[in-house]
Amino acid sequence: MLHLSLNQPELVYELAAEHDNPNWVKVLRILKMDKTYQSAEKSWYTDTDGIKYLDFHTGEGVASLGHNHPVVKKAITEVLEKNIPGGIQIQYNALSGRLAKEITSLLPKKLNKVFFTNSGAEAVETALKFARSFSKKSRFISCVNAFHGLSFGALSIIGEDYFKEGIGPLLPGCQTVEFGNLQQLEDEFKKNDVAVFISEAIQGREVTIPDQDYFMGVQQLCKKYEVLFIMDEIQTGLGRTGKMFALEHWGVEPDMVLIAKALSGGIVPVGAVIYTDEIYAKVFNNLRRSYVHHSTFGRNSLAMAAGLATLSVIEDENLLEHVSQMSQKIHDALLTFQDKYEIIKEVRVQGLMIGIELGAPRSIKMRVNWEIIQAASPGLFAQLIVLPLMEEHHIIAMVSGENDVIKLLPPLNITADEVDYFINALDQVLNEVHSSHSKNWARLLDIVKSTSHSSIKSYVKSAQTLLLG
């Protein structure tokens, strides 16, 4: 079966449409992203036609070391070749303890316990459960536009209703406040029934970066009202922002830190909750309850070896400094583009976590096209840039949700030449979009016409006749 997808790429999407998710296959086909990749190495995918694609998506930051980093591959291979025990359920091996020690050494001293999971969503579920065990209070506070995963507890605290449609009722006692609004947060805390406040270090959906003093204010409020503070570093942790953990930018010490995605170098599913002795003592408070929470594959040897190798690569290749250098290079270019091109509304950059927010054009012709696209589908407008990056320049980027933000998460070891390639390609795409006879506007309007209801189709047809000729 392994050779089927490699030797018969035409069957890949047929099988996916039949047995997996037909609507997602349709979306990929509409966007012309239905590629079949036969290999991935460093910052590049290679499809079955031999075409290479530069990855500025990395699976939402999973492949932080690029694809199939040789050091991580070697560590995993050694585990298999040496028949190292799995290290799950009723036994331990050296790998999980070593990885836990390495992780805790990178965080504030009070965070000295680690519970390993298989994913970020599972880490969130674990943290919420631990919080309830610790606190005599029950409510969970999170932020508007937050994303913490799609399992049931995580879904209850995310800040986008789109994901919740048709799923409820969800967990009771969950409330959102505006990210960055300390007054709203304190108003909820004053009710004296809040167990925990959970927040992403940087909101991943739109790359929303907090004010410098926000999280210190959060920490002070949590201490004042005896509320646990959970920082979700599932996307920001392990070098993404130019620090090992984003919390270092603000000098805060949460009660729990969540990581996943990049911990295994993008090869093996893994996640972790790092928490305090005080929380441990409430959750696993006697011998009988030593097994009250567990995860079957949580500390499996492949994931633990990959995690150790990943931390080693970050240090040995001096990736934190490299991320800062590449971040500055990209940021400088994007600020230049913001002055040059009217559809760029705002640029948000922290390390190699990058958001380019598009806005309404000023010129009449582009403004009419923009209004059509906005009326047809939220989040479609940013495809004006993402699609030609993919189709013409073979660069994989993304629109992260129903918004107008292009989100970029390149590998932490992206090279300067690869960054230059991206910058030049983006400049060309933006220049074309602003030209008087842009084919990219026409392409996006064709997508709208092919997927929207009849009134929108008629509107698009009229506008194309009037504006595009």
Q: Are residues 304 and 386 in the same domain?
A: no
Q: Are residues 48 and 76 in the same domain?
A: no
Considering the domain boundaries, does residue 14 fall inside one? no
Query: What pLDDT does residue 463 have?
Result: 43
Of the candidate ranges 31-45, 79-93, 260-274, 281-295, the one whose mean pLDDT is the lowest: 79-93
- Tokens 């694609």, located at residue: 53
Q: Are residues 118 and 136 in the same domain?
A: yes
Considering the domain boundaries, does residue 169 fall inside one? yes
Model confidence pLDDT, tens digit, residues 241-253:
999 999 999 999 9
Considering the domain boundaries, does residue 439 fall inside one? yes
Q: Are residues 271 and 129 in the same domain?
A: yes
Final residue of a structural domain among 290, 316, 342: 316
Confidence of residue 6 (pLDDT cuts 50, 70, 90): low
- pLDDT, the chain, mean: 92
Model confidence pLDDT, tens digit, residues 175-185:
999 999 999 99
The residue among 387, 313, 350, 327 whose CA lies nearest residue 63 is 313
Domain count across the chain: 2
Cα 248-252-257 angle, rounded to 5 deg? 80
Indicate if the pLDDT at residue 457 is higher than 50.
no
Percent of the chain with pLDDT over 70: 94
Q: Are residues 232 and 112 in the same domain?
A: yes
Considering the domain boundaries, does residue 271 fall inside one? yes
Q: Are residues 304 and 162 in the same domain?
A: yes
Model confidence pLDDT, tens digit, residues 118-161:
999 999 999 999 999 999 899 999 999 999 999 999 999 999 88
* Spatial distance between the Cα atoms of 232 and 243, rounded to a whole number of angstroms: 15
Query: What pLDDT does residue 460 have?
Result: 43
**CATH number of domain containing 326:** 3.90.1150.10
Considering the domain boundaries, does residue 464 fall inside one? yes
Query: What pLDDT does residue 230 have?
Result: 98
| Domain containing residue 283 | 70-316
Instruction: Quickly count: other Cβ atoms within 10 Å of residue 268's Cβ.
Output: 22
Considering the domain boundaries, does residue 3 fall inside one? no
Q: Are residues 238 and 356 in the same domain?
A: no
Indicate if the pLDDT at residue 455 is higher than 50.
no
Model confidence pLDDT, tens digit, residues 384-434:
999 999 999 999 999 988 899 999 999 999 999 999 999 999 999 999 999
Model confidence pLDDT, tens digit, residues 277-290:
999 999 999 999 98
Confidence of residue 2 (pLDDT cuts 50, 70, 90): low
Confidence of residue 272 (pLDDT cuts 50, 70, 90): very high
Final residue of a structural domain among 256, 287, 316: 316
Higher pLDDT, 251 or 6: 251
Q: Are residues 336 and 305 in the same domain?
A: no
pLDDT average, residue stretch 363-369: 86
Cβ(403)–Cβ(205) below 8 Å: yes
Provide the edge-to-edge strand list for the sheet that holds 52-55.
37-41, 44-47, 52-55, 395-396
Q: Are residues 332 and 308 in the same domain?
A: no
Considering the domain boundaries, does residue 111 fall inside one? yes
Q: Are residues 284 and 137 in the same domain?
A: yes
Whole-model pTM?
0.93
Give 305's Cβ-side CA count (13 Å radius). Answer: 22
Considering the domain boundaries, does residue 257 fall inside one? yes
Q: Are residues 97 and 37 in the same domain?
A: no
**CATH number of domain containing 97:** 3.40.640.10
Q: Are residues 141 and 49 in the same domain?
A: no
Final residue of a structural domain among 287, 316, 345: 316
